[in-house]
Amino acid sequence: MSGPLRWGLIGTGGIAATFAADLELTESGRVVAVGSRTIERAEAFAERFGVPNRHGSYESLVADDEVDAVYVATPHPMHRADAELALRAGKPVLVEKPFTVNAAEARELVALARERGLFLMEAMWTRFLPHVRRIRELLAEGALGEIVTVIADHGQWFAEDGEHRLFAPALAGGALLDLGVYPVAFASMVLGPPAEIRCMVTPAFTGVDGQTSMLFGYPSGAQAVLTCTLAAKSPTRAAIVGTAARIEVEGDFYAPSSFTLTARSGEQVAFDGRQAGRGLRFEADEVARCLREGLLESPLMPLDESVAIIETMQAVLAAAQR
């Protein structure tokens, strides 16, 4: 790459708009093309963000020679097919979270990217935020001692609307895949995949999971306590508790935020990671960095971990049905 990464967007919904707006805050890339199922929606999105190339199909978008990388921003059930479309067209791909709706799809997508030697990454944008990068450094330094507990929640209020994607079974709705993926990915970053899963699920009026509480156990003896809900706005905070110190992340923990490191002695150090924008620009920066360096996946959000996170969420839903 000799200049900014030229992005093509598949989808014109809210998360695509947030991504396009955040790209304006960085020099690593710019949106040059957008694709939708109708040219009218592509045109409307392009006019809003000043995107030069507009496509009335995803096939046309991935075939655009001016596109260096594709961002898949369609509803959950379409992630695998839309990412596959871009990979088969020879494009590096960033796939909105959750990576796919089940582990089988995730493994197929990863296998295809590796077979074709193409970059692929889940758009778990939280992983690349400044405050999370600093947390990872503290964990690597052993500043917290032995990790005992991870706590995280993500709850938002949504009106009960059967047409809304989060309540629609056909669109893989529910709290866990859309909101719970953040706490699950946070725990994964700290402790890896759980060895034991216990959970409780309260269905929403359409049958999808409306509220899910999870207790994960790990070989070290550590535990993670995670919750998500579609029924109320929760504190959306997170904490990592260790034998030497603890980290408490302010809400919204999954967006640009701040945290306090409190030593066992009570001494505190604060880190302010608040930034302009929503924070998606940092994942775009990571994709551009990886492509410049010839990497096929990000060491901060490796593909095997994305598969493991989907496996964990799938196991949670399966356990809730027993």
Q: What residues contact 89, with CB distance under 8 A and at least 6 apart?
A: 62, 63
Beta pairing class for 69-72 and 5-10: parallel
In this structure, is residue 319 part of a structural domain?
no
251 and 142 fall within a common domain = yes
In which band, very low, low, confident or very high, does the pLDDT at 1 lie, cut at 50, 70 and 90?
low
25 and 281 Cβ atoms separated by less than 8 Å: yes
Q: Which residues contact 81 (CB under 8 A, 6 or more apart)?
A: none
3 state DSSP class of 17: helix
Which domain CATH number covers 119? 3.40.50.720
Residue 302 placed within a domain: no
Q: In the 8-state DSSP scheme, what is residue 142? A: T
Same domain, 24 and 120: yes
Tokens linked to 3: 């200049």
User: Half-sphere exposure (CA, 13 Å, Cβ side) for 300?
Assistant: 22
Both 139 and 269 in one domain: the answer is: yes
List of E strands, the chain: 5-10, 29-35, 53-55, 69-72, 93-96, 120-123, 147-155, 196-203, 209-217, 223-229, 238-242, 245-249, 258-263, 268-272
Write phi, then psi, for 143 (nearest 5 degrees).
Answer: -65, -25
Look over the chain and give the mean of its residue pLDDT values, rounded to a whole number.
96
- pLDDT tens-digit map of 201-212: 999 999 999 999
In a domain, 111, yes or no: yes
Give the residue numbers spanning the domain of 201.
130-274
Same domain, 175 and 284: no
Q: What is the pLDDT of residues 206-233, one digit of tens each?
A: 999 999 999 999 999 999 999 999 999 9
Tens-place pLDDT, residues 257-305: 999 999 999 999 999 999 889 999 999 999 999 999 999 999 999 999 9
Pairing label, strands 69-72, 196-203: unpaired
99 and 149 co-located in one domain: no
Residue 314 inside a domain? The answer is no
The CATH number of the domain holding residue 172 is: 3.30.360.10
- One domain for residues 137 and 263: yes
* Active-site residue, selected from the candidate residues 97, 127, 131, 281: 97
CA dihedral 144, 178, 313, 35 (to 10 degrees): -110
Tally of domains within the chain = 2
Looking at the fold, whether 49 and 96 belong to one and the same domain comes out as yes
Give per-residue pLDDT as tens, 106-145.
999 999 999 999 999 999 999 999 999 999 999 999 999 9
State whether 134 and 262 are in the same domain. Answer: yes
- In a domain, residue 303? The reply is no
Name residue 240's beta-bridge partners.
Answer: 150, 247
pLDDT digits over 264-275, tens only? 999 999 999 998
45 and 180 co-located in one domain: no
CA gap 274, 289 in Å, rounded: 22
Q: How confident is the model at residue 319 (pLDDT cuts 50, 70, 90)?
A: confident
> What pLDDT is stored for residue 189 in this prediction?
98
Query: Do 119 and 162 lie in a common domain?
Result: no
Q: Is 14 inside a domain boundary?
A: yes
What pLDDT sits at residue 320?
Answer: 72
Same domain for 110 and 225? no
Residue 97 catalytic? yes
Mean pLDDT throughout 81-92?
A: 98
- Percentage, residues of the chain above pLDDT 90: 96
Residue 84 forms part of a structural domain: yes
Q: How far apart are CA 43 and CA 35, in angstroms?
A: 9
Q: Would 321 be classed as within a structural domain?
A: no
Are 114 and 227 in the same domain?
Answer: no
What pLDDT sits at residue 304?
98
Burial 258-284 (b: 16+ CB within 10 A, else e): ebebbeeeeeeeebebebebbbbbbbb
